[in-house]
């Protein structure tokens, strides 16, 4: 079974406008709302790729109700812990440039965390735990490290997509898979990483530290996959980017779906990058048919 954990879900509110007038009124031409948070996005993309998962994490208030109802309407199993405050609202502004304002999480107490841990106690060998997104300020920054260690002790696989301190701390717990973008990889090592070639020594170091698969994404400039015996490069297909929110989460979902289907490593990497691009080229999330089409435009080379 695949379990996704979103400690900090969101209602993503997308607004499109010609111009942002700071210090004055701006009026949008178009807006829409969607459930957000990286683990929830992974569950939603997995479903579109034909894989079931259970979405876990903390939700609260009217925004939390909205997130839960949309996810359940898509036939995705949920087992969220209810918290007292409202799930945050993240504003995604599309104008001349894309800007994002991610909101503040409600308080998560020890009791809420205990409830989540009780839910996770069912994890067993062969299960996959996806820990994705930011960690609420009221929680310890090593929470992913703790949950990852507990899951690895049960021989479950752990996929991580996060950044900053929680990401740095989880590395020692040897997750199975991580997907930093090149900025996040640079942040981990306090360096600037401007090209796939520059990322290679850092990705290798992460693999040496015990992580089985490291995908570093470079938006439209390709991606690398590092494992203990090779570094692969994938180009990204060409297309018009409609919405890059959730594209990174789609790479995680694509790789997870492909490895669950026992694709070869090369095909799984191709499928992962195609899933990211298919979402970037869609108004919302990708569909499997788009992923399969875009996979044909990707070539995997040995770096």
Ligand X SMILES: Nc1ncnc2c1ncn2[C@@H]1O[C@H](COP(=O)(O)OP(=O)(O)O)[C@@H](O)[C@H]1O
131 lies in the binding site for ligand X (CB under 6 A):
no
Contacts of 129 (CB under 8 A, 6+ apart): 3, 5, 120, 123, 147, 148, 151, 156, 157, 158, 159
Residues that contact ligand FBP, how many (by CB under 6 A):
16
DSSP bridge partners of 263: none
Q: Does 57 bind ligand FBP (CB under 6 A)?
A: no
Least separation in angstroms between residue 233's CB and ligand FBP is: 21
Residue 277 binds ligand X (CB under 6 A): yes
196 lies in the binding site for ligand X (CB under 6 A): no
In whole angstroms, the minimum distance from the beta carbon of 237 to ligand FBP comes to 17
Name which of 14 and 269 has its Cβ closer to ligand FBP: 14
CB of 102 to ligand X, least distance (A): 13
Q: Which stretch binds ligand FBP (CB under 6 A): 108-116, 138-146, 206-214, 239-247?
A: 239-247
235 binds ligand X (CB under 6 A): no
φ/ψ of 269, rounded to 5, equals -65, -45
Q: Among 84, 249, 267, 290, which one carries the catalytic annotation?
A: 249
Residue 291 as a binder of ligand X (CB under 6 A): the answer is no
Annotation says 267 is catalytic? no
Residues that bind ligand X (CB under 6 A): 181, 217-220, 223, 236, 241, 244, 247-248, 251, 273, 276-277, 280
Q: Which residues are catalytic?
A: 249
Residues that bind ligand FBP (CB under 6 A): 8, 10, 12, 36-38, 41, 90, 102, 133-134, 245-249
């Amino acid at each position: 079974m695949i379990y996704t954990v979103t400690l900090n879900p969101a209602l993503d509110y997308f607004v499109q406008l010609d111009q942002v007038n700071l210090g004055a009124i701006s009026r949008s031409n178009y807006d829409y709302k969607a459930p957000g948070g990286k683990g929830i996005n992974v569950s939603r993309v997995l479903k579109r790729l034909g894989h079931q998962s259970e979405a876990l994490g903390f939700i609260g208030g009217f925004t939390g109700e909205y997130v839960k109802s949309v996810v359940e309407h898509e036939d995705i199993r949920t087992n969220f812990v209810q918290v007292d405050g409202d799930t945050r609202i993240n504003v995604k502004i599309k104008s001349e440039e894309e800007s994002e304002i991610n909101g503040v999480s409600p308080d998560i107490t020890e009791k809420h965390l205990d409830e989540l841990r009780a839910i996770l106690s069912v994890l067993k060998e062969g299960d996959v735990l996806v820990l994705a997104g930011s960690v609420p300020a009221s929680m310890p920054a090593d929470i992913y490290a703790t949950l990852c260690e507990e899951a690895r002790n049960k021989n479950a696989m752990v996929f991580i997509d996060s950044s900053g301190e929680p990401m740095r701390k989880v590395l020692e717990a040897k997750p199975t898979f991580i997907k930093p973008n090149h900025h996040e990889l640079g942040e981990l090592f306090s360096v600037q990483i401007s090209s796939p070639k520059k990322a290679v020594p850092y990705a290798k170091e992460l693999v040496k530290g015990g992580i089985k698969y490291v995908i570093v994404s470079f938006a439209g400039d390709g991606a690398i996959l590092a494992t203990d015996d090779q570094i692969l490069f994938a180009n990204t297909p060409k297309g018009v980017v409609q919405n890059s929110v959730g594209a990174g989460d789609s790479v995680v979902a694509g790789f997870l779906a492909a490895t669950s289907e026992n694709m070869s490593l090369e095909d799984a990497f191709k499928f992962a990058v195609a899933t990211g691009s298919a979402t970037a080229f869609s108004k919302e999330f990708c569909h499997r048919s788009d992923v399969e089409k875009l996979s044909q435009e990707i070539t995997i080379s040995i770096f």
